[in-house]
Amino acid sequence: MTSSPAPVLEPAETVSDLSDRRGHSPANRLQHLLHRRPALSPLFVLIIAVVIFSLVNARFYSAVNLSLVAQQTAVIGALAVGQTLIILTAGIDLSVGAIMVLASFIAANLIYTDNTSVPVALLVAVLVSVVAQAINGLLVTRIKLPPFIVTLGTFNAFTAITLIYAKGQTITLNPGSGLLWTGESFLIGNFRVTYGVVLMAVLYLVVAYALRCTAWGRHLYATGDDAEAARLAGINTKRVLLSAYLVAGLAIAVSAWILAGRVDGADPNSGLNANLESITAVVIGGTSLFGGRGSLIGSLLGALIVQVFDNGLALAGVDANYQVLAVGILVIAAVSVDQWIRKVKA
Amino acid sequence: MKFHQAPRTLLALTAVSAVAFGATACGSAAGSSSSSGGTVGVTLILKTLSNPYFVTMENDAKAEAAKDGVSLTVAAGTSDGDTQTQITAIDDAISRGDKGILITTNGNAVNAALNQAKQAGLYVIALDTAPTPANVADITYATDNTAAGKLDGQAAAATLGGKKAVIAMLDLYNNQVVSVDIDRDHGFLQGMGIDPGSTTQNGQEAKSGTYTGGTGGSYQIACQQPTQGAIDGGRTAMEDCLSANPNINVVYAINEPAAEGAYAALQAAGKTSSVKIYAIDGSCQGVGYVSSGEFAADAVQYPGKMASLGVDSIAKLAKGGSKPSTSSGLDFYDTGTALVTASPVSGVTTETVAQGKAACWGSSS
């Protein structure tokens, strides 16, 4: 699943094993297991959460509700794909949500005011997302600005552009418009699956495959793990870095489409917290903020966990404030686990 | 090598962020115009420019300013709750020598800056919502948000005709306390004849009991969820509410986008006919949703009127006129509210869709 070669026993550890026997303790073995499979801890948290919430309120486990949780996760889930790619390069992107809202608004507005055909509008959305991410990527790779600062700047810029363009209006498209296709659904048993959820799943499959089985994916991990070593190994790290932003742009375009399906058009105020929520999903999903380690599926689990907590606590009738509290604690816990796992190599 | 680079990177990061933050702060004051030469300077500080409600304020204030020969500077927070940008704009207004500030505050954090402005001789008018405490502003021009909520609540109770109310409360935030959130929520509950159980907090009402509005009956609060006042937030909140209790028949929504999101969730669940949505705002879009039946009612407010009255008052004051005074019985000047419904509701004063459309704001898209 992850790129980093499974470190079985390194010399340093063997020495420390000799001095004390921690190397064989269950904690140590768990540490190694999580290092190899970073998605295991979020999977564990998700299962526990689902079991507990099902016990608290049986409705949680109903097909109708679980379908809703999947639908609610789709936007942030798709966005987290792009965020994962960038965090894997030891970067961070504060602007993904802002770009998503801009792209979705432009697409919806083209259809609403100019009667643009849906494929063209979608193409424009892709173009907007990719160009926006190219700006981020070029500033990071060419001008060598820290990703945090670059995307903080572009986050503000893209938010402002959306507001200027939208003039504060929301757009409601006529039902049946192709842009809202992601909100339409079909039934699998009692599960109502929207095409947006399907689209998100396909996005995960494609990008996960690329990360795992293509040279590009391996190069991305290598660059994120140690850019200097990757460069010396002959990888064009600048190009790999830029490609991460461009592919993230594609993922953002997909999430923009899913968002349109959820809000029946476009709302400049939607996705207000999406930037941070996507980072939250990736971090809870076990991807290291230090780059080079993590799995895409973890980010999906992370996005699901956040939504399951929101939904589960709501069904349990818990005050909405505790939903925010719970997510905060989860983030700290996830980062702590990551720090602990990192010590395998230290 | 890494050790040598780290501090330099950090330095660069600090420097760049300083520039970035500096630029943001200065950016908010962009478009400022000097008020030299005897013209009256007024600064209008809005919550955000992402909501047509505030865009309408901006437009009407500009129109009034042009009429009165006032030099108007407009600033706005980047998001709801962004007090920092607002504080900067207040500081800018003081140093520019403006005669007055019109502000829709994003929170109590701006109070100190507003007090400084008053000490510097600026006349401070709060628009839309009174600051807490209210005397931070010299006067507030607002819609009575409690009254707006009440109208919705009364209509909801009357329409139920004694049936059991299963209510979804779709509020604004769960990460900050904003007076409009409390006032509209509590107003709705009071309108239905339910004790909010608190004056400062949402969600403190008894979760079940009897309502006294209309012909009275029993009620149950099915859920209370934040929406961020946006469509996606409203939709997610309503979905969670329906999962928690599929029997919901009354939805209170903090504003129109939240109500739109709730409608989308109800539509997906095939429940639009059995559930009534009560919204507040009064945009042309929202009034349109009343006529198409998506909203059962929309409590309408007049943001443009607040802003133009505010500009006018400061212009008059600067030219030696008298200070404006509050509406009787209230600690603010009430710019009014009305309830738009598709058909009359017995026992509640309502306006028709046509009346609503005549006074609505924003474009009708």
pLDDT, tens digit (0-9, with 9 covering 90-100), for A159-206: 989 988 887 788 888 888 889 999 888 988 888 899 999 999 999 999
In A, minimum Cα distance to B170 occurs at: A320
- Of B219, B225, B228, B226, the residue nearest B248 (C-alpha): B219
Q: Is A67 on the interface with B (CB under 8 A)?
A: no
Q: Is A267's CB within 8 Å of B232's CB?
A: yes
d(CA B104, CA B65): 18
Nearest to A269 among B12, B229, B362 (CB): B229
Contact assignment for B175 to A60 by CB distance below 8 Å: no
- Asked if A236 reaches chain B (Cβ–Cβ under 8 Å), the answer is no
Encoded tokens for A201: 């799943």
pLDDT for the residue numbered A16: 43
Interchain pair B24, A68: CB under 8 A: no
Say yes or no to pLDDT of A20 above 90.
no
- Residue A344 has a pLDDT of 72
Q: How far is CA B193 from CA A272, B150, B189, in A?
A: 34, 9, 6
Q: A8 lies in a domain? A: no
> Nearest CA to B154 among B331, B327, B296?
B296
Whether B291 and B317 map to the same domain: the answer is no
B259 at the A interface (CB within 8 A)? Answer: no
3-state secondary structure of B359: helix
Q: Contacts of residue A66 in chain B, CB cutoff 8 Å?
A: none
Closest residue in chain A to residue B57, using alpha carbons only: A168
Are B260 and B249 members of one domain? yes
Does B7 map to a domain? Answer: no
Residue A216 located in a structural domain: yes
What angle in degrees, to the nearest 10, is found between the helix axes of B52-68 and B303-318?
30
Measured between alpha carbons, how far is B28 from A109 in angstroms, rounded to an integer? 27
pLDDT at A77 over 60: yes
Q: Choose the closest CB to B365 out of A160, A169, A273.
A: A169
Q: Which of B52, B232, B269 sits opposite A168 (nearest CB)?
A: B52
In a domain, B224, yes or no: yes
Tell me: do B354 and B238 sit in the same domain. Answer: yes
Q: What whole-number distance in Å separates Cα of residue A276 and Cα of residue A272?
A: 9
Chain A: nearest CA to B318, how far in angstroms?
32
> Does the distance separating the beta carbons of B50 and A149 come in below 8 Å?
no
Distance from CA of B49 to the nearest CA of A (A): 6
Same domain, B162 and B283: yes
Average pLDDT (A238-265) is 95
Separation between Cα atoms, residue A57 and residue A60, nearest integer Å: 6
**Residue A171: what are its φ and ψ, rounded to 5°?**
-120, 125
- Which one of B54, B79, B174 has the shortest CB-CB distance to A321? B174
Give the CATH number for residue B68: 3.40.50.2300
Q: Let me know if residue B15 belongs to a domain.
A: no
- pLDDT for res B263: 96
R_g of chain B computed on alpha carbons: 22
pLDDT of B55: 86
Q: What is the pLDDT of residue A345?
A: 55
Q: Is residue A169 part of a domain?
A: yes
CA–CA dist A344, A27 (Å, integer):
11
d(CA A216, CA A196): 27
How much is the pLDDT for B38?
67
B231·A264 Cβ contact <8 A: yes
Q: Are residues B225 and B309 in the same domain?
A: no
Mutate to test the interface with B, among A144, A169, A258 (most CBs of B within 10 A): A169
Please judge whether B50 and A166 are an interchain contact, meaning their C-beta atoms are less than 8 angstroms apart.
Answer: yes
Whether residue A321 has pLDDT greater than 60:
yes
pLDDT value at residue B176: 74
Beta-carbon separation of A317 and B244 below 8 A: yes
Q: How confident is the model at residue A127 (pLDDT cuts 50, 70, 90)?
A: very high
**Residue range(s) defining the domain that contains residue A163:** 39-341
pLDDT at B21: 42
Section A27-43 average pLDDT: 83
In a domain, B3, yes or no: no
If asked whether residues B269 and B321 sit together in one domain, one would say no
B129 at A interface, C-beta within 8 A: no
In this structure, the answer to whether residues B171 and B310 fall within a common structural domain is no
Q: Touching check for B128 and chain A: CB below 8 Å? A: no
Does B344 lie in the same domain as B210?
yes
Report DSSP letters for A46-66, one per residue.
Answer: HHHHHHHHHHH-GGGGSHHHH
Inform me whether the pLDDT recorded for A18 exceeds 60.
no
In this structure, the answer to whether residues B203 and B234 fall within a common structural domain is yes
Tell me the average pLDDT of chain A: 87
Give the angle B172-B174-B180 at the CA atoms, nearest 5°: 35
Query: Residue B107's domain spans which residues?
Result: 34-143+304-334
Chain-centre distance for alpha carbon A190: 27
Instruction: Read off the pLDDT band of A9 (50, 70, 90).
Output: very low
CA of B21, closest CA in chain A: separation in Å? 9
Among residues 328-347 of chain B, which lie with CB inside 8 Å of chain A?
Answer: none
Give the pLDDT of residue A164.
84
Q: Number of CB pairs < 8 Å for A and B?
A: 133
CB B17 to CB A149 under 8 A? yes
CATH number of the structural domain spanning residue A279: 1.10.3470
Between CA B324 and CA B330, with CA B328 as vertex, the angle to 5 degrees is 90
Judged by a CB distance cut-off of 8 A, whether residue A165 touches chain B is: no
Give dist(CA B86, CA A152) in Å, integer. Answer: 19
Task: Please judge whether B260 and A323 are an interchain contact, meaning their C-beta atoms are less than 8 angstroms apart.
Answer: no
Residue at B152 is within a domain: yes
| Number of independent structural domains in chain B | 2
Q: Is the pLDDT of residue A17 over 70?
A: no
Quickly count: other Cβ atoms within 10 Å of residue B5's Cβ.
10
Residue A23: the pLDDT is: 53
Residue A130 predicted with pLDDT over 90: yes
Number of domains chain A contains: 1
Q: A50 or A318, which is more confident?
A: A50
Selected for mutation to probe chain A from B60, B84, B202, B240 (highest A CB count within 10 Å) is B240
Q: Is B226 on the interface with A (CB under 8 A)?
A: yes
B279 and B325 together in one domain = no
Q: Is A272 within the bounds of a domain?
A: yes
Between A273 and B164, the higher pLDDT residue:
B164
Compute the average pLDDT of residues A289-302: 92
Nearest to B259 by CA among A109, A300, A267: A267
Is B171 found in the same domain as B296? yes
Residue B17 located in a structural domain? no
Residues of chain B with pLDDT under 70: 1-38, 364-365
Q: Which residue has the tokens 């019985």?
A: B329
Is B136 in the same domain as B172?
Answer: no
CA of B169, closest CA in chain A: separation in Å?
12
CB contact under 8 A, A263 and B232: yes
- Which residues lie closer than 8 Å to A274 by C-beta, 6 or more apart? A75, A76, A79, A96, A97, A100, A101
